[in-house]
Structure formats: structure tokens, C-alpha cells
Amino acid sequence: MATATAPAKSMPQIVALCKRRGFVFPASEIYGGINGFWDFGPLGTQLKNNLRDAWWRDMVHSPPSGPDGQPLEIVGLDSSIIQNPRVWEASGHVSGFSDPMADCRACKARFRADDLIGVELIFPDVPEPNKRNFLICGVGTPEEVLETNTKKIQKLQGANGPYERLSSHHVFSELNEEGRAEFSCPNCGEKGHLTEPREFKLMFETYVGAVRDEESKTYLRPETAQGIFLNYKNVLDTMRVKLPFGIAQIGKAFRNEVTPRNFIYRSREFEQMEMEWFCRPADAPKWFAFWQERRLTWWRSMGLGAENLRVRPHGADELSHYARGGSGTVDIEYRFPFTDPDFAELEGIAHRTDFDLKAHQTQAGIKLEYFDQEHNARYLPHVVEPAAGLTRGVLAVLCEAYTPDPARPSKVYMRFHPKLAPIQAAVFPLVAKDGMPEVAGKLYRELRGRFTCRLDIKQSIGKRYARMDEAGTPYCFTVDGQTLSDQSVTVRHRDTAAQERIGIDHVTDFLAQRIKG
């Protein structure tokens, strides 16, 4: 089965499996797709719902205990995607939520300015005075840039011999004008046609009502968080909560990303799982540290490998407008196959201070202060926000689960944590005769009320196991000739492909013990 040194995970192969097995499809595929939008198929939807439900359970139904051992209080919310446009003026999104973008004047291609990378190469065998540095240009990590320019590099090697790699640069932040002039467009290859970066607004605009004018213009929410701030007072007035407490929300967010890429990693429509933790300002640093540790532990409990996760503090130049002046922001990062050996953001944890409540208090002219009976004081609470991507979380779970195994007929299996697996159990009759389908059907009907379960009758048993390996089903139960005489079935374990026999009466308990909610 899986070899000691695991083969590298290939993103194109993961994307192909997602399509083949019904996890993720390109949106509007029969019309040629639409860049930055994806549809979740039957297995992907169930996987996403399982991850979403696990988050909700661990945040709202059964929040963790705080540093003092007392259970925390977190309540749920489901706010509107479209809100009054003044919300987005107050939140700073209308004026500040944009990405710098650069265009190629030659081919009109558009790039996120901070994605554009130049990697410098030098050819040591070239004698002076002809020796010079070459700039290899592209989008992505330096490794991706070199990979997409293989042909060009081979040509240079043919003429100049082996090369040495020097530093890589972000085009706009690190290269001077001379360096930038050397930059050839990653799309058309023309040199020196890149415009200076301009701010590109990320919020999708829409109009409410019959008239399309400035008055009726509003936005699709770019984060779920603002709905929480808008309802903070409603929750205070109705739920008898006291500081510190949290409000959690899961839902869609929309960003007109300049360059959606890496499958569902950066899309234009995605889901977030956000929790705003309201606390006394003086306690915010303590909670900021607490939530970092909790969220990292949670992602591990979803099956993500500790070696593929890390916490990275933001530099001062990276802080979002709402987090300046707080104790900081960190990203929980995952090592995706397309960033490996580097990592990329999975969740952000920010100390948002009282930025949002203060902004809405001013804009709406409504007092949002909290009366702290214990300290006999009125103030705006501070907020610590763990903001996770559900869509991005599904991608991390898919990448982690993808396990190449040349020894299997399927050559790959999806090693999901059993509680996340979209199909938790499959039931097969060994052959479709001799009363086996009837017994298998009865077992299936017993299981399906408690577990996500499939009954598969047709094709060879090997093909059925292979299909379940690609779906990531942790346990397959097969009814065979022996079942009819001794009431036992085989259980096949996905990760080892090992089989054992258990009594058919014990299947429910067997699953319940292994698939904990």
C-alpha cells in the first residue's frame, strides 16, 4: 500500500479526481465556464457540509473552554448578503477594499501587481564582458515562474550553458524602473509594456429595485463579518449574553478577484466561517493568543497534518485597515501542493479592536456601547476575529486526503478523516445473486438513517472498492456466501485495504465508534 516516501501530490491530478468523482465542477461548464466560479458536486457538497457542521458544532453548540476552564459562550447568526450600502462605507470597504492591478499595454492581460515575480538567472560559463543577468518573468511563486518558462530557460542554456539562480523580486515593490523595463509580460512575452499598478475595487456591485442609479446601488458582501457587527446590539438585547462572548456566522462572500486561481483557493464566490469574539479591550491580547492556539488545534482535528500547518504573523505593511492599532493579525497557513514547500492562508485571526463598532456607531448615529456591570463602565468592546474560509478549508482537506498509491487499482485514495468523509460506509453484495443483494439491502437500510451510506451492487468487487477509495469511503462492508451461514460480513479498511470479519449485528456500533460527531 502507500510507500514510505509518499509521492508528490499533483494539483492537476487532484482537480481531475474532483471532477471525475463529483467533488467540484467548473461553474457553467457547458457554456465554457466562468472564471473564478465553481460548483460543488454531490460528494463535494457533502464534504463541505461536514466541514461546515463540524465548525458550527465546535463553535456554537459546544464551544471550547476558555483559559480559566469555563465553557465559552458563542451564539449563531445568519445575516443578509445584501445590506444597506452605508454599511460598506462605514466598514471601510467602499474606499479601501481593492487590489493593485497592472495591465500589459500590448496584449491587455491584467495581473494582480503583487503576483508578478521576476527571477534573476546568471550563466557563469559566459565570459566577461558578455556576462549578464537574465530576468525570467511570471505569475506565482519563483518555482512556478521557472516551471512555466522551461522552454525559454532551455533555449538560454543551449546558448550559454548551465545557469545559477539569483534572487527573485516582486516587480513593483522591489524592482527599479530599469528592472521593470526588462520584465516581459507573462501572457504575451512583450517587454516593457506593463502599466503602473492601479487600485481595482473588489466588491461586486448590484442594484436594488426597479431603478438602476447611484441611489439604488449596493454591494454583495465581501465578508460575513459585517452582518455580525450590524446585529451585535440585537444579540445583546435578546440573548442575555455578557462579555466576553462570540457571534458566529457561516455564509457566502463575494470578491471580484483580479486573478482567481489555484482551483477553488481564490475564487470570486466562496464561503466563510467567521466568529467575532467581543471582549474587554484590556483582555484582547489574551484572547488573540487563545484563538490562535484553538484554531490551529481545530484544523488538526479535521485531519490536516501538523507539518502542513503553521501560524504566520502579519508584517505591519500587510495589516488590513481594520486591524491597524491592534495586537496584530496572524494567518493560519496550509502547505498546498501548489505552494509547496511554501504555505498559503487558510484562516486569518485578527484583533480588529473596536474599529467596526466605532465606525457603525458613528455612521448610523446609534450608541453601540456595552455597559459592564462588573466594572461599572461603558465602552465599545474589542473584537478578536477567527475568519476561516470554508471553501479554502475544503481544498485543504481534499489536498491532505489525496494519497497516491501505485499498488492499488485506483492508484490513489482519499484519506479523509472518517467524520468528514462524504460517504462514511458502503455496502456491497459480493455477487448479485444467491440472496446476497437482499441481505446487503437490509443492512444498507439500517445504516442510512445514521450514516452517509451507499449500496453498490453492480460490477466486480475490485472496481467497487476502487470507486470507494477515490470517494474516500473509510469502511466498505461486503455480504458474501459466509454471511448467509454465520451472519458475518467483511469490513475493508480504506487506508490499509486490510479486511476483517465482524458480525452483521455489530456494523452500526463499529461505525458509531469510529465516526465520532
Q: Give the nearer residue to ligand GAP in terms of CB position, either 115 or 223.
A: 223
Fill in the DSSP letter of residue 434: T
Should residue 257 be labelled a site residue for ligand GAP when binding is judged by CB under 6 A?
A: yes
Burial call 385-413: b when 16+ CB within 10 Å, e when fewer: bbbbbbbbbbbbbbbbbbbbbeebebebb
Choose between 384 and 471: whose C-beta lies nearer to ligand GAP.
Answer: 384
Under the criterion CB under 6 A, does residue 255 sit at the interface with ligand GAP?
yes
97 binds ligand GAP (CB under 6 A): no
For ligand GAP, which residue of 112, 351, 392, 464 counts as binding (CB under 6 A)?
A: 392
187-195, 265-273, 424-432, 492-500 -> range binding ligand GAP (CB under 6 A): 265-273
Residues 6+ apart with CB under 8 A from 221: 81, 82, 83, 227, 252, 253, 254
| Minimum distance, C-beta of residue 12 to ligand GAP, in the bound complex (Å) | 20
Helix, strand, or coil (residue 406): coil
What minimum distance in Å lies between the beta carbon of 351 and ligand GAP?
12
Whole-angstrom distance, CA of residue 227 vs CA of residue 248: 10
Pairwise CA distance, residues 382 & 282, whole Å? 9
Q: Are 515 and 419 contacting, i.e. CB atoms less than 8 angstroms apart?
A: yes
Minimal distance, residue 424 CB to ligand GAP, in Å: 26
Minimum CB distance to ligand GAP smaller for 11 or for 455: 11
Cβ atoms 43, 471 nearer than 8 A: yes
Q: How far is the CB of 447 from ligand GAP (least distance, A)?
A: 34
267 in contact with ligand GAP (CB under 6 A): yes
Give, rounded to a whole angstrom, the gap between the first and last alpha carbons of the chain.
28
What is the bridge-based pairing of β-strands 370-372 and 344-353?
A: unpaired
272: contact with ligand GAP by CB under 6 A:
yes
What does the chain come to in residues?
A: 517
Read off φ and ψ for residue 54, nearest 5 degrees: -65, -40
The answer to whether 276 contacts ligand GAP (rule: CB under 6 A) is: no
Among 19-27, 52-60, 263-271, 487-495, which window interacts with ligand GAP (CB under 6 A)?
Answer: 263-271
Q: What H or E segment, with its residue span, contains residue 292?
A: helix 284-301
The residue sitting closest to ligand GAP, measured at its beta carbon, is: 389
- Closer residue to ligand GAP in complex, CB, 52/514: 52
The C-alpha atoms of residue 311 and residue 308 are separated, in whole angstroms, by 11
Of 99 and 120, the one with the shorter C-beta distance to ligand GAP is: 99
Q: Where are the beta strands (DSSP E) in 114-213?
A: 116-122, 133-139, 164-170, 198-201, 205-207
Name the segment binding ligand GAP (CB under 6 A); options: 93-101, 344-352, 467-475, 507-515: 344-352
User: Is 347 among the residues that bind ligand GAP (CB under 6 A)?
Assistant: yes
295 sits near ligand GAP (criterion: CB under 6 A) = no
Q: Alpha-carbon distance 264 to 248, whole Å?
A: 23
Question: Is 292 near ligand GAP (CB under 6 A)?
Answer: no
Please, which residue, 335 or 492, has the CB nearer to ligand GAP? Answer: 335
Q: What is the binding site for ligand GAP (CB under 6 A)?
A: 223, 225, 255, 257, 266-267, 270, 272, 274, 345-348, 385, 387-389, 391-392
